[in-house]
Amino acid sequence: MKVLNQDMKTGQFKPVYLLDGEEAFLKKSYKKRLKEAIVGDDTMNFHQFEGKGLDLKEIISLADTMPFFGERRLILLEDSGLFKGGGGELLVEYLPGMPDTSVMVFVESEVDKRSRMYKKVKELGYGAEMARQDARQLASWAGGILAKEGKKITGRTMELFLGKTGDDMENIRMELEKLIGYTMGRDVITDQDVEEICAVRVTNKIFDMVAAIVTRRTRAAMDLYEDLLTLREPPMRILFLIARQFNQILQVKELMAQGMDRGSIASRLKMQPFVVGKVMPQARSFSREQILSYVELCVDAEEAVKTWQLNDRLAVELLITRQY
């Protein structure tokens, strides 16, 4: 991401950029910063498109149009699907000759690095993969934010803090703001501050719910589900997080079978070591086939909702209460 920062600093922009990867906070942050650096508050020369099935001829026509009383025209495309499954051939042929007064920025969730679009963007511009940050990177980032506010925190307290927030950078940022406000007038953030002000993140409840599901503590799992609904978490997001947790258990189990320890697994999967430490006992308790069966049940539940066989809330309830 040094290239992005350098381009924004110098004002010398490449014709096309790609922001992809799992860390939504970083993609959102760099998308905003690029827009500010390229066109600022100029709405006349900013165009935003989202979703698949875009009219590429319209986009090319915009890119060919000179900026209106401005230096550059910015075209932002999000989750276009052009980097996976084809469909971007028209842009692949167009980009090399695009006027230097236009800049295209793609923000994508799915990218196939073998695709022609990806290769063309790498050739003509810059691609930045916004990967999930590991525990060390998150601690460094959070510590930097606190330091700018004149706050100090020990490594142990930082670990406690990240244990509560999880690895979602958006959530970490919000919890940091609460901590900073809570400790106004004091320099040092303590364990007690973290315990009193930082909420246990939704994903921590998901972890407990999965643990209850796999140990067949149905009542406990349902109570946690009701808690999440009370917090206004959509049932389909809860289902997604349950499925992701089972997939993590499967990945950890497979790496454990290769003889990898907690630190190595955390590094490979870009997970925090304490999270891996919580997942490992679950991975030991179940066979690969059992874990796969839970993953398949999540897929079936999602399919049932999408095909209108079940409503989303009931689909998750049936997943939780089913006996295996």
DSSP 66: P
Please, which residues bridge with residue 104 across strands? 16, 75
Kindly state the tokens that stand for 305: 């909702």
CA distances for 111 relative to 16, 29, 56, 211, 314, angstroms? 15, 19, 18, 32, 33
Question: Is the per-residue pLDDT at 31 higher than 70?
Answer: yes
Contact (Cβ atoms closer than 8 angstroms) between residue 241 and residue 203: yes
In order of their start, the domains of the chain are 2-129 (3.40.50.300), 135-197 (1.10.8.60), 202-321 (1.20.272.10)
Inter-helix orientation angle 202-214/218-230, to 10°: 160
0.85 surpassed by pTM? no
pLDDT in tens, 122-164: 999 999 999 888 888 999 999 999 999 999 999 999 998 988 7
Which residues fall within 8 angstroms of residue 44, CB to CB, at 6 or more apart?
68, 69, 70
Kindly state the tokens that stand for 255: 């790496």
What φ, ψ does residue 49 adopt, rounded to 5°? Answer: -130, 145
pLDDT band at 20 (very low <50, low <70, confident <90, very high): very high
pLDDT in tens, 253-312: 999 999 998 889 988 887 767 778 888 988 888 888 888 888 888 888 888 888 888 888
